[in-house]
Amino acid sequence: MVGMMLTDEEILLRTTVRDFAEKQLKPNASALDQNEEFPSENIRGLSELGLFGLTVDERYGGNGGTTRQLALTIEEIARGCGSTSVVYIAHLSLCTHFIEQFGTEEQKKKYIPDLARAEKIGAFALTEQGAGSDAAAISLRAKRHDSFYELNGTKLFTTNALEAETFVVLATLDPSAGTRGIIALVVTRDVEGFQINPQHGKMGMRATSTAEMLFDNCLLPVGNRLGGEGTAFGMTMRILDGSRVAVAAQCVGIAQAAYEASVDYVQQRHAFGQELSKFQSVQWTIADMATNIEAARLLTMHAATMKDRNLGYSREASMAKLFASRVAVEAADKAVQVHGGSGYFAPTVVERLYRDAKLTEIYEGTSEVQRMVISKSLLE
Q: Annotated active-site positions, please?
A: 364
List, in sequence order, every residue forming a beta bridge with 305; answer none if it has no partner: none
**Contact in structure between 109 and 60 (CB atoms under 8 Å):** yes
- The secondary structure of 40-79 as a DSSP string is HHHHHHHHHTTGGGTTS-GGGT-----HHHHHHHHHHHHH
Residue partners of 78: CB distance under 8 A and separation at least 6: 84, 85, 249, 250, 251, 252, 253, 254, 257
Q: What is the CA radius of gyration of the chain?
A: 21
> From CA 13, how far away is CA 212, in angstroms rounded?
36
Residue partners of 335: CB distance under 8 A and separation at least 6: 258, 259, 261, 262, 289, 343, 350, 353, 354
**Contact in structure between 81 and 68 (CB atoms under 8 Å):** no
**Of the candidates 123, 128, 115, 98, which has an alpha carbon nearest to the alpha carbon of residue 38?**
123
> From CA 195, how far away is CA 38, in angstroms rounded?
19
> From CA 351, how far away is CA 327, in angstroms rounded?
16
CA angle in degrees (0–180, nearest 5) for 195-199-202: 160
User: Mapping DSSP to helix (H, G, I), strand (E, B) and coil, where does residue 128 land?
Assistant: strand
CA angle in degrees (0–180, nearest 5) for 241-82-311: 20
